[in-house]
Amino acid sequence: MKHLVFFFGLLALPALAADIEPRPGWAVHPTTKTHDALVADTIAAVKANGMAVVTQAGPTKAAAARGITIPGNRVIGVFNNDYAVRVLEQSVPAMIEAPIRLYVTENEDGTATLSYKTPSLVFAPYTEGADALPAIAAELDAKFAAIADLAVK
């Protein structure tokens, strides 16, 4: 009986996900860079493209402090005040989506991937702002693509 309890207890443990795969509405950029290098290059690319790193979060270091090893994982929130004001002029509810997040994950082979939901996908549910909000989202799509292009070089 103890063995069955142990076995079913193992089934309850969370599985670590594999590498990020492309999915609708996401931009996924695998690289040969290490996780730490891609995080640094992404932050530099954000700044070089006139945006700001508003937030950063990741469970890797906190897990390590608890004696748990997990792959590198960092969420980087990106926005700037110009876009914030413009979004708010169109839709107060849509502003909950800011900052838009970039996601840097360590792959099984030690390389890293930069991925994100496109701003057009993020702002799609908001009907306020008629054509203006989708136009802002399209501008942000181009801005985030430029950030990604620079970061993954």
On whether residue 50 sits in a domain, the answer given is yes
Across 122-144, average pLDDT: 94
Which residues are within 8 A (CB) of 51 and not within 5 positions of it... i.e. 6 or more apart? 78, 79, 80, 143, 147
CA nearest to 64, candidates 31, 10, 106, 30: 106
On whether residue 59 sits in a domain, the answer given is yes
Percent of the chain with pLDDT over 70: 88
**25 three-state secondary structure:** coil
On whether residue 99 sits in a domain, the answer given is yes
On whether residue 12 sits in a domain, the answer given is no
Which residue in this structure is represented by tokens 């009907």? 127
Whole-angstrom distance, CA of residue 127 vs CA of residue 106:
36
What does the pLDDT look like over 64-110, one tens digit per residue? Answer: 999 999 999 999 999 999 999 999 999 999 999 999 999 999 999 99
The total number of structural domains that make up the chain: 1
Instruction: Give the H or E element holding residue 57.
Output: strand 52-57
- Tell me, what's the pLDDT at 113? 98
On whether residue 69 sits in a domain, the answer given is yes
Looking at 2-16, 31-45, 78-92, which range is the least confident one?
Answer: 2-16
Across 40-45, average pLDDT: 98
What is the domain extent for residue 107?
A: 29-152
- Count Cβ neighbours within 10 Å for each residue of 32-70 and write b for 16 or more, e otherwise: ebebeebbebbbebbeebebebbeeebebeeeeeeeeee
Enumerate the H helices of the chain as residue ranges.
2-11, 35-48, 60-65, 81-90, 119-123, 132-152
Q: Does the pLDDT at position 11 exceed 70?
A: no
pTM comes to 0.86
Q: Does the pLDDT at position 7 exceed 90?
A: no
More reliable by pLDDT, 131 or 136 = 136
CATH code for the domain of 141: 3.30.310.70
* Dihedral of the alpha carbons of 42, 47, 50, 55, in degrees to the nearest 10: 80
